[in-house]
Structure formats: C-alpha cells, structure tokens
Structure 1
Amino acid sequence: MRKYIDHSDGCILMLKAPFPANEAARLRALRALEILDTPAEDRFDRLTRIAQHILQVPIVLISLVDAERQWFKARRGLDASETPRDISFCGHAILGAEIFVVPDAAADERFFDNPLVTQAPDIRFYAGAPLTLSDGMRVGTLCAIDRQPRQLDERQLASLRDLAQCVTDELELNTRLRRLRELSLIQARYAAIIESSEDAIMSKTLDGIVTSWNQAAERMFGYSEHEMLGNSMGRLIPQDLNNEEPQILARIRRGERIEHFETTRRRKSGDVFPVSVTISPIRDGSGAIVGASKIVRDISERKVAERMKSEFVSTVSHELRTPLTSIRGALGLVVGKFSADLPDKVRQLLETANRNSERLTLLINDILDMEKIKSGQMHLDFKKLDLVVLAKQAIVANEGYGQQHGVSLKLIEMPRSAMVRADELRMMQIFANLISNAVKFSPKGASVEVAVRPQDGGFRVSVRDSGSGIPKAFHSRIFQRFAQADSSDSREKGGTGLGLSITQAIIDKHGGAIDFVSEEGVGSEFFFLLPEWQDEVAVKRASRDQPHMLICEPDHENALVLSELLAGEGVTSDWAATTAAAVELLRTKQYRGVLLDVGQPEIDGLSLIQRLRDNEATRYLPVIAVSWWKREDSDVRDVQGLSILDWLQKPVDRQKLRKALTQALLTDHRPRILHVEDDLDVVQVTKALLEEDADYTYAATLAAARSELAHGRFDLLLLDLTLPDGFGLELLSAISPETQVIVFSGQDPGAALKRHLTVSLTKATTSNERLLATIREAITPSRK
C-alpha cells in the first residue's frame, strides 16, 4: 500500500519509504558502529572528494539512516548535517541491495513534491549505493546528487559501488579496532593473571607439543620457556606413566574437560612429585578443537600433610583399639555374667560404661573407614551378589538392635533376585548403617520397611522409617562428615555422624547413587541405586573400516584404559568382565584379536585360550596377554603351546601394544601358503604335509604365481628357484613385506640372496619333518 505524508503546511503529498523488515536489527547494527554524531574524519571526507571528482556532481554525502533522521558522516556541497528521514531519498535506497537511481526527481511521482526537490538543495538527480555491513545490514548510503537531470554510465556506477564498499570497510574498521582494543585489554589481564599465578599454566597442541609456558611452570619443573616451546609434554611424564599422555589427548580430542586429576610429574632434575592437573580443550573460531590448556598444581606439601594426618589418625585409632578391646571385653563380661549380683546403681553405671565403649569402638571404626576412603586404600572385592539375599541377611543381623529399641524390621517388597556386582562385606555395612539409623529415629512399636525393586536397568534398595523426619534446612548437609541435624542427636540417639558419608562413598565406588526423601513429622526414606549385573559390560558398534577387538578384563577402569589405548591406534573394542561373557561374545561376534587379562580370578585365561584353540572358528585368533606380572613370574605355563602372540605388563606401554597389534592384525586367520613349484610330485607331498596347518595353494609358473599374489594375501611363499618361465626370486618384488619367504629348491640361492629370505632349504637334504617344522616356525604368530 502506498503511504503518503502531509508535510509542513499540509499541502504537500509525497511517498514515504517503508521501513525495512529488519528495521530493529538494522538500527542495532548502526548504533553498534558508534559512529553517529562523531566529528568529521579525513578518511571519510577523502572518499567523498574522490566520488565528487569521478562522478562530476556538486553534492556527495555519506548518509547514515537513523530511526527518524539521516545523518551525514561526510558531505560535499551541502551545509546541513542531517535531514528528516521521512523526506530522505536514502530511506528508499536502503530497501534494496543495488544502487538506487532517480534520473529526474521532478518527473518522478515519488519525489516531485519532496521539499528537497521543490526547495534547496533542488535535487533532480540522485544515485545512492547502500552501505551494506558484513552481516547484511544496510545502514546508509554513499549518494551522489545533482541539480540537473542526468544518468551515470556503467563505469561511474561501478566506481560508486566500489567507493561505497570502501566507506563500509571504514565503518566496520571502527568496530574491529574497538574489539581489538578490548581483546588486547583482556589479553593483558589474562597474561598478568597467568604470569602472577603460583600454578603452572601451559598449553599444547593435540600432538602434545608445548605452545605456551608461564613463569610458574619454569619454577615448578625447572625448564625455561625456551627449552619447552616446540617440544613434547612427554618429557615431564615419568617413564612408568608413558601411556598417560596419549589417553589424556584422546579425551581432549573428544572435547572432555579433565578436572583435578591427580598424578605425578618429573622435574628437569629428575625428581618425581605429585600434582593436580586440570585440562581444558582449546577451540578455534569454528569450534574445532586445536589444543589444550593445562593448569598444574604442585601438591607435594598437601600430600605430606595428608600422609601425616592419615598416619596420625591411623596410629591413634589403632593404639586406642588395643586397650578399648580389653575394656569392652571386661565390661561385657561383667554386665553379662555378674551384673545380677550387683547393686542397681553399680549395674546401671556398668551398663553406661559398656554402651559408651561400644560407641567409641564404632567411632574409631568409622574414622578408619573414612581415612581409607579418602586415601584410596579401601579395596573392594567385587562379586556377583543377590541384593535380595543380602537384604534378608541384613534384617536378621539387625533384628536384635531393632528389638532393643522396640522397632520391628520388615522386607516388604522384593523381586525373585537382584543380581549386582558388589563387595559383600561393604554392602552389609551399608544395610547396617541405613537400618540402624532408621531404627534409632523410629518411635517404639513402629516398623522399619526395607524394599528391593527393579529400576532403570538396575535395582533400588530403600529403607523407610516413621520417625520425626529431617529438617529441610539440614537436607543439603545430610551426607557430610560428622553431620547431624541436631547436636543433641548424637547424645540422645548415639552415632558419629560418619555413617551416611561412608555409605555414600562406598556406593559411589560401586557405580551407584544414594539419595533420600523426608517429611517432618512423617518419616524418612533413604534409598540407593546399583546397576544390574551384566556379563557383557560394554559392546560398541564396529566400523567396517576399523579392526575390532575383544578386551577380557574384570576391572572397569583397567578396561577403559585398554579401550582408550586401542582407540588411539584406530581399533574399536568390546569389553567382557567374565569368562562366560567373553565366550558368549566370541560366539556371536567376529574379532581380529583378544586382549586378555590372565591374572584375575573372574577370567580363567588359560581355559579361555584353550577353548579358542579347540574351536575351528577361533583357532588362529591372536591373543595378547595383559598382566601385572612379568611373563617369567606368572603361573601361566605352556605359553608357546597356547599360541599367545605377546605378553604385555601393566601399565601397558603404547609402543609395545602398537607392535603387538600390528602383528595381531596380520595373523588373525588360518595361515595361507602359496607354493610355487612345477614338480607335481613335490606339490602332492607338500600339500598332504601342510593340510592340517594352513590353506595351501600352488602355482606351477611365475605367471600363475603373480596372478595368485595379485588376487590374494599369503602368509608364506614356499618357492622353487627354477621355473619354466623364469627365476623364482623374481617374485620377491610382487609380495608384501609381511609375507614370509622360504626357498625350497634343488639349488642353493647363494649368500647374497639369502638375506632377503626367511630361510632357505635344499630339497635333497631336507626331510619332511624339518620342512614341516620350518614352515610352522614361520607361520606361528608367537614366534615371529
């Protein structure tokens, strides 16, 4: 719809330019330039002078179209610094991307009665090139005005377009310079923070090459910035942790942030010291990860303090236990056997002493457990356990405690079984903590209800009481050490305030979670979740282009480390935690090899290997043994007989694993032998000799042999030298480097050629037994 406005005296009607569809965003872009109402600048005035000269017009303006005005950043031939937007030609020009041209405004129905046409400056000709920012916003024009009707030729239009782009570049240069100043200020602040930090701060590429190194890093490690820039971060890592950096880099490539990772590092002096490391991915402008920043804190003093505290607590606790055991025993004996003959007052005092000796024992045990958890010394014996059985046992074990308080224990809901991977002793400790808490806070005559339910691929175990509930103000602190809702609780109900904190830590180590719901005056329910036992722990989809291997390792963290190492070599993997799981996966899936922990009770390594060798489908599957033990120190016997490809000691060295993988990926099938021989009697005997050990193919000529080599891969080339169409050794250039070569010929190849061969045998002096043994030696993976 055409919009007209009544201007000044109401007698003039003219067409007003509509607002662009993106007007709000356009105005934000204009104001972000911070150019409006700024003083004249030569860089803009220069462009208007050039335009005036090229276009031969009396007026040239750099016009910025604001909400209600057009303001001139630069002007030639006009005194006004701005005019109303509603009568502007530029308001029309910014509606399109091309140059807006009005050859004769007096003859144009849009402008013939415009005050800028009927009065000074008497516009007849107008050409406005939009000033289009890099984000597409048109904020104004570079316009040329004449008092006579006219046209611009193509050369002049091109010049106007180019000059408008120059104006736009200058406008955006302001923004870029301002941002550069802001970035410089931020950079200076960060640099000051980095250089004044007591922590070592550094950055590296995804290959582990150092790209920055602050002064604290120099002080901490003893290497100067000059010594570290451009060199590998690996020189800071102790030799026994060589596989750590590749694993860290793999996590960074996936975009993970690693926080407060505690490990050790090596100074220039060779000293190894404990550190806490936080690592974050560095991304470029497109979001791609290009490196990592690293903050390293020396925690030597903290570790010394922790060790001293731990030793102190442990010593004191153990020293207290010895006399306390005697005190508890004596008091228990007196109260149990002789209290009936004692006066009531004496008996009450003895019972009080006995009760408090029990509390003191619990306190010492809890403190020791807490120290074990904090120091990482709480070792768990994971087994396949039934939570239903454990819940029943826990109720029986705590029934006497409930009777003392007049509270009954009930198992109200349970599935047939609830199998989990857990430590039996610690699970009973969890049940005891939760049940005893529920009993203590329940009124006499009440019941504590225990339930086991399936939930989200695992099991939910709950303990519900009908006590006074937990105040809301205390909810956030319920799992903190020594936390109790009221200090009077410990005196009235007994307890150390450590039970729930210990329970949470144990459940965390089981890969579970604990929480609670509580309502004051109604009661509380504490519950924990544990994942269901799974023989097959982790299965990944194998890519057609990537080798796929099976990791047989009962420990989750060790399996993850091995999986990361394999991933770093371009190998995907599945994980089985038990022998049964491994057998099932090997039955249903195809693998290029097996990484087998031979030192854990959950996996009978020798039995599994024997089953592989007895099965035609897996007889030649490469097995790489992994163990904390050296091969010579292990109980594994007959290693060669079971065809173990390699033996890697934990922690696994990446270079040794790479070498073993290379060999494994070449030997994951029944060996294939190409026998190049033109004597059919020799072929018949050799084929009969090898049919149990390998797939046998023969070629009677060089041409036939070349065809076989071109269409298939062979593990061994058994080669006669004299053939109908040439010399056998001509085939050496056609085989892959991995193919073994045995010359089996009537003539000796000579010393110069023997160095290119695996072995050389002469037909006349070689028995069948020796030939078979030599070939077996060449194609057995563990002996290459």
Structure 2
Amino acid sequence: MPTPPIPQNEMDRLLSLSDFDLDYAEYKDNFKDLAKLAAKVAGTEISLVNLIDSFTQWSISGHGLEIEQMPREDSVCQYTIINGEHFEVEDLQNDERFKDKFYVTDEPKLRYYYGIPLKTKSNHNIGALCVLDKNARELSPEKVELLKIIADEIVSRLYDIKVISKLKNKLTEARETQKKVAHDIRGPLSGIIGLAQLIAEQGEDNQIEEVLEFMQLIHRSGRSILDLADEILSADKKDLKPAANSNEFTLLVFKDKLERLFIPQARNKNIQLTVSTSANSEQIPLAKNKLLQITGNLISNAIKFTPPGGHVEVELSLEVNDTDSTLQIRVKDNGTGIDEKGIEKILQGNATSTEGTASEAGFGFGLALVKHLIDTLNGSVNIYSKPNEGSVFEVRLPQIRQ
C-alpha cells in the first residue's frame, strides 16, 4: 500500500477544519445546488463536496453518487489537499495508487477524477470539490476556472454556516443572561421596594434610628444590584462556554449523531459500535462545542485499533451539580491497547502514526487534535490501557449550567 500523503501543516489544517465545528451529516441540502452545478460545468456524471479529517473523508453533499464517507487512505482527495491548485487523474484504472480501490474495481467503476482544494482564509485545504466519471474526460481552462469559483463559494458558505451558528449561540446566551438578570435583580429590588413602602406607611411614627437602619439596608441592596450590573458588563465572553443552540443539543441528540456518523465505519470493519447515555441526564441541554470532533476522533481511533469482530462502546453522561455540570465521554474498545510510553505521548500531545489492525493507514494527528481540543475547553482526559488488553479513554468537559 502506498504511503499516504500528509500535508506539512496537517495539525494546523485539522484545527482549521475543527473551527467550523461541523456535523458532517447535516449539510447535504446546503451544498446540493453547487455539487450539481459542478457536475454540469465539468460534464461529468458525479461530483462530491468532501471534507477530510484525521481518519475519514466525509462527503457532505454530492450529485450522481450516494456516499457519505470512506476511510481517508482510500480517497483520491487526500492527494488533492496536498497539491496547490488541483489534482487530476486521467485514468484511475491505470494508476497504481487507485486501481484496486472499491470505487474503481466495483460500481460505479470510476476512471476520471479532477479535484480542487477547499481552501480556507488561513490557506488550509480542509477538503476538496471533485468531479468524477466512468469515462475519460478533458476539462477546458474555462471549465476549470468555473469549478474554482464553485469551490470558493462552498468555502464561503461554510463560513456563513459558522457565523450563523455563532449568532444563534449568542442569541441563546443573551436570552439566558436576561433570565438570570431578571432572577438575580428581583430579590434585592423587592427588598428596596418593601423597605421604602414600610417607611412610607409608618410616616411620622418612624424613629430616626429605624430610618437609618432601613436606609443602610436599602443601600446594601442597591449596591448588590450595581455589583451584579458590573459583573455582567465586565464579563469576558471568551471565558464563557457557548450555550446550547435553540434546537437543544442533549445527550440523546449527541448519541443519535454519533450513531449516524460512525456506525457505518464500524460495520465496514465488522465491529460492533454501541452508544449509551445516562437516563437521568440525557434530556438536559449542553454545549455542543467541538464534541463531535473530539468524540469522533476517539471512536475512529478505537475502530482503527480494534480487530474485526471486536467491539467499541461509547458512554455519555452528565454529572450535574448546583452551579455547574461536567460532561463525561467514555470510549472503550477491546483492541490492541497502548503501552505506558504510548499513553504518555498521547497525554503530551505527541502521538505518532501507526497502522491499524486491518493495515489502515496512520496519519498520526487524530489523538493530538483530541488532546488540543480538550485543553482549549479546560477539560481533562485519562487513558487506561495495556498492550493487547484494549483501551479506555475518559474525557471530562466542564459545562456551564443554563
């Protein structure tokens, strides 16, 4: 098997992709028109909009071919994100890198490929727009330029989706802040009104000492309201976790997304993947920030190092306290396991590439990305493993109660 190509800026590329915080199964309709347009422009039967993470190529939309994902090492687009402007294969059947791939030997028996990188504003290739056909093709310079314009529009829409998602989060945060302010101010404000009313009702019967005491209480209540206002106005929004969006991201929603995205990967290797939630907290809203990226990489890694016929278990739970809560993600497999040195490298963010149990290619950045994302969310990860005894990854992520 040829050595898989890895971009020199792979870690930065993966971080750039993770910044979009995408659910790869949600955006088929967002890009369907552009995928169809790309096929029409190129005169090909098939076009795909592909995003490439540490382990997987995700086809988030397409025309002429129903496919949602494939292992990164099987894809042609892994070469497109290496090249500067485009990557073309005139005949996949005669190319040593691709002639034995399932999409060449079996239906749709593809022959022609042309891919254009999806380049972010930070100059990272997070995926590719590709056109494919069962017959040889030749694209004119004019068609290539049109495909580049379509690729730019795809990236522009990804940024639009990112902005809209942030605005939804901020709107939810504003609503929650409004509720909190109304609740917190009601107490001291009611006290002020009550004391003022008491003074007014007593009229001339008020003793100067009582009035002074009442005034001190009013002052303290007013001061607490001002302190609350200062706290709200000076709060550093960067330190706040994004609130759950208006659709309420819960453990049940999280479970459903993980099953839809990763059960196909597991089945492809004859591995049983199960996802379970804690019944007492599965309906509580939580922040979805980077959860799919973190958990998805852990699941893909577990599948990679578990032999066919094995199992991967994912447990999701939420520990709820009076003021905050903690999300716990537990990914357990019965795979090859990790020695102490390997665990130490992962925890230091220095994990290196190794082959999977079915000779899957190693890219060496999945667990490093997971460690980085967990750190940015002020979380923690523990790893329990021994060689040939499987592995357990336990992630804890603090959540702000809504």
TM-score for the superposition, normalised by structure 2: 0.43
Higher strand share: 1
TM-score for the superposition, normalised by structure 1: 0.23
Task: Report which structure shows greater RCO (CA 8 Å, sep ≥6).
Answer: 2
